[in-house]
Structure 1
Amino acid sequence: MRKTNWAGLMRFWLTAAVILMLTAGSVHAAEEKTYQSLKLFADVLEELENNYVDEVKPEELVHNAIKGMVGNLDPHSSFMPPDAFGDLQDDTKGEFSGIGIVITMKDGILTVVSPIEGTPAYEAGITAEDIIVKIDDVSTKDMAMWEAVNKMRGPRYEEVKITIIREGASAPLIFTLKRDLIPMTSVRSAILTPGFGYLRITNFRMNTLDDVIENLSGLEKQEGGLRGLIIDLRDNPGGLLDQAIQISDLFIDKGTIVSIKGRIEKNNQAFKAHPNFPERNYPIVTLINGGSASASEIVAGALKDNFRSLIIGTTSFGKGSVQTVRPLKDGFGLKYTIARYYTPSGHSIQAKGIQPDIRVEPGTVEEDPKENSAFELMLKEKDLKNSLKPEAEETKNKKKSQKDTEIEKLNKDIQVKRALDILISYGVFSKINGTN
């Protein structure tokens, strides 16, 4: 079978292209530089194909060259082989089995954006900003992101070992995780106290808007309606842009939600809000942290800049670039960055993130004051002999439902408690000032 001369073919097509350009008119300086660079590439390819110590596959050399070319642009651009390109759709469609983390390349290092709530990685304690140095004892140095994703995904219940470097830890941390199905449910809600709701959005998938509307409807139908809402976007790595825009639009009646600006005019867009029915005029506090990225930053930025929500927590991740995906021949795919996101006030999210209005570090509220507190040693009504028990005391100790346990846990979350205190205080002062 005759061997294909890849370098010769490339040289032929380059020459033909130059002849066509000369026929059409003068060759611009930029086009001439591109041709010279491609000619250099063809020379190197021919040299390796003919003289390298081992026989090489020219198509692999070309693919690796493309991989390097795209991968050096930014952390979110990549050239993907057919299997990786097919798997790209799994994050927003259908189920897949893995450990449940979103990753990125940060300064060339494989870094965790955030764990997905309810997954093996989340339950094991992997956190945003963790650096993954090994997967099953294979170094991640020079590993493409799609390769890392493929190594962490696999059959359900099979184990994968992840070695992590964490700031503040004296030695690498090793996690042995059992792969599991990654949950598709991205929204849940609860009433923390009468009149005040909690809406948790873990990511933005194809059905997230519908889930948000359903959960909001349930919260708003409570007796007396909603007097305040907490939107929790902590450790939300993002997802589909259209879902983030439409969810923001539920709470904003006019103005800009987000702008997209790139080098090419056709990639520039501004997404506007529309009047809502029913109107949602209740105050909102939104929670963010270092694991809030991309689409969740768009929601937080839109609510903040439109003065629709107070933002508390810690600075978000800062993933403010827009990618497009193009299918190529033979099943390959190309994902590359085409623009940047800008909040309604014109601030770029990229590498800066969303700054909270009030910085609140994570933590848990202590259950009981110190036993030796002077106030705790003072006699109280409950300490008197035969004192009356509080009303409904007999039901207090009944077995708690899972929902009750979750609400109890939320009320011990310092960031959630701070948000709830702000909403309740707002309602109190509104009544005092006669504005409610």
Structure 2
Amino acid sequence: MKKIFLSGFLASGIAITFLLGVLYAQTDTSATKKSSQKERIEAYDKLTKIINTVENYYVDEIDIKEIIDKAIGGLLTNLDAHSDYLTEKKFKDLQAQTEGEFGGLGITIGMKDGALTIIAPLDDTPAQKAGLKSGDIILKINNESTLNMSIDDAVNLMRGKPKTSVELTIYRKNAPKPLDFKITRDIIQVKSVHTRKIENENFLYVRVNSFDKNVTSSVKNALDKAGKLDGIILDLRNNPGGLLNQAVGLSELFIKNGVIVSQKGKVKNENIEYKANGKAPYENLPIVVLINGGTASASEIVSGALQDYKRALIIGENSFGKGSVQVVLPLDSTSAIKLTTAKYYLPSGRTIQAIGVTPDIIVHPGAVPQSDGGFSLKEADLKNHLQNELDKISEDSKKDNKKEEKTTGDKKDMLSLNDINNDIQLKTAIDLLKSWNIIKPIEKSNKGAEK
């Protein structure tokens, strides 16, 4: 039996992502809780009686195959939010999603406190354009209640042919009543990495949407191409996760030695440590990482590892807290089970599961506060102020503003001042990088003086 490791969420509009390592599953009796032969026989006998009773007395006709499928499904979905029985249809849907292109909304969903929750809307997708937000709770899909609905069943309802629509009823914190959204499905193609220079600064903004197989190489190529930088902003907000090996690979660009992440489970061969490769071409590059409630799984591993090794400052809001490992175990050519087999642990030994990564500096989203236009008294308002000098400054300022407007319009690969002022988390990250580059020389100078 082959098994495939999963890291990430099954989502409408985003492929579930795999750590594509293939191993042969072996029965490990030492890892199984011992039950007496009598207890096992009694338990199997009880299950058989229930199956026979349902087959003989249930009000509608139901064959034995359907009963068994429902029994397996109930067993797995009652274990945790991510384990599931993949029937033929679900298994085909899963395989279709790994192709990376399908009809959907472009959201990642998960269970949080028993509620079907939007982890993140993906960039430039129908969900984001419609206004869905991280933290929204899905109450209904096409007027069908999501109460006790599995993640996979919800995904199947939201996925469909492009140009068809789906209706969602959403609970949003602080909204006076549930919100209704009618969203048209589309082909979801996710570009995992976007980079832009920051206007007037020698910083690179690196946005990672999800961890597909090209993330590490894409980020490294962008950094190599950018040349000598004073720092980078790594934006992992609303990143639902992906390939574990890519999370490790991205971390290895900045962390030279040590364990990046480890996983521990019941079976010994599930206990694995993923260590840095000793290269770290950007070992000394200043980094600020942006995270929020939509930062999950593989993206939590990256931000958590960088935080533990003090390689980066983490800015934003607490991450989602998805730190478990799922494995797909095919039963035959048409069905499989998805089973949680281990949990992730960061280099310090702390777990991500249900806790997440706490930022070094908490900054809630929003625009940068601007002047409210209220009354204020300035030098220019005083009688006999230095007219000529102020006029010169004012004229220079106007010229700079015109130059700035022209630059902003001409350079699409730049984050403009307007972009930055609309995102206070990003603005905070830039300010911290500026401070970083001022403080570093002072620290070195002080160390030299001590010697």
- In 1, the alpha carbon distance for the partners of 2:188 and 2:342 equals 30
- In 2, the alpha carbon distance for the partners of 1:81 and 1:424 equals 53
On the 8 A contact 2:256/2:280 being kept in 1, the answer is no
Secondary structure of 2:299's partner?
helix
2:212 matched residue in structure 1: 205
Alignment of 1:334-373 (within 5 A): 334-368=337-371, 370=373, 372-373=375-376
Shift of 1:159: 1.2
Paired residue for 1:84, among 81, 90, 107?
A: 90
Shift of 1:408: 3.5
Paired residue for 1:262, among 265, 268, 290?
A: 265
1:418 matched residue in structure 2: 428
On the 8 A contact 2:261/2:345 being kept in 1, the answer is yes
1:327 matched residue in structure 2: 330
On the 8 A contact 1:118/1:183 being kept in 2, the answer is no
**CA 1:30–1:200: 2 relative to 1, 3 Å:** farther
**CA 1:91–1:428: 2 relative to 1, 3 Å:** farther
On the 8 A contact 2:103/2:159 being kept in 1, the answer is yes
2:233 matched residue in structure 1: 230
Shift of 1:35: 2.2
Greater alpha carbon shift after TM alignment, 149-158 vs 374-383: 374-383
Paired residue for 1:428, among 431, 435, 438?
A: 438
Q: Which letter maps to 2:266?
A: R
Shift of 1:384: 3.5
Secondary structure of 1:425's partner?
helix
**CA 1:374–1:392: 2 relative to 1, 3 Å:** closer
The answer to whether residue 143 in structure 2 is matched with residue 137 in structure 1 is yes
Alignment of 1:2-401 (within 5 A): 29-192=35-198, 193-219=200-226, 221=227, 225-276=228-279, 278-368=281-371, 370=373, 372-375=375-378, 378=381, 384=391, 388-389=395-396, 395-398=403-406, 400-401=409-410
Higher relative contact order (CA closer than 8 Å, sequence separation 6+): 2
Q: Which letter maps to 2:233?
A: I
Structure 2 residues not aligned, in runs of 5+:
1-33, 447-451
- In 2, the alpha carbon distance for the partners of 1:45 and 1:170 equals 46
Shift of 1:229: 1.1
Larger Rg: 1
Secondary structure of 1:56's partner?
coil
Cα deviation code 1:349-401 (max 9, x no counterpart):
11110111111111111455625333497478797399744556664444714
On the 8 A contact 2:103/2:160 being kept in 1, the answer is yes
- In 2, the alpha carbon distance for the partners of 1:386 and 1:282 equals 36
On the 8 A contact 1:99/1:177 being kept in 2, the answer is yes
Shift of 1:252: 0.5
Over the residues paired in the alignment, what is the CA RMSD in angstroms? 2.5
- In 1, the alpha carbon distance for the partners of 2:274 and 2:59 equals 56
- In 1, the alpha carbon distance for the partners of 2:205 and 2:392 equals 40
**CA 1:433–1:367: 2 relative to 1, 3 Å:** same
Greater alpha carbon shift after TM alignment, 257-266 vs 325-334: 325-334
**CA 1:374–1:141: 2 relative to 1, 3 Å:** same
On the 8 A contact 1:297/1:349 being kept in 2, the answer is yes
Shift of 1:275: 2.5
**CA 1:430–1:178: 2 relative to 1, 3 Å:** same
> Between Structure 1 and Structure 2, how many residues are aligned?
405
Q: Which letter maps to 2:305?
A: A
2:416 matched residue in structure 1: 407
Q: State the TM-score, normalized to the length of structure 1.
A: 0.86
- In 1, the alpha carbon distance for the partners of 2:420 and 2:168 equals 33
- In 1, the alpha carbon distance for the partners of 2:197 and 2:378 equals 32
Cα deviation code 1:279-318 (max 9, x no counterpart):
4412111111111000000000110111111111111100
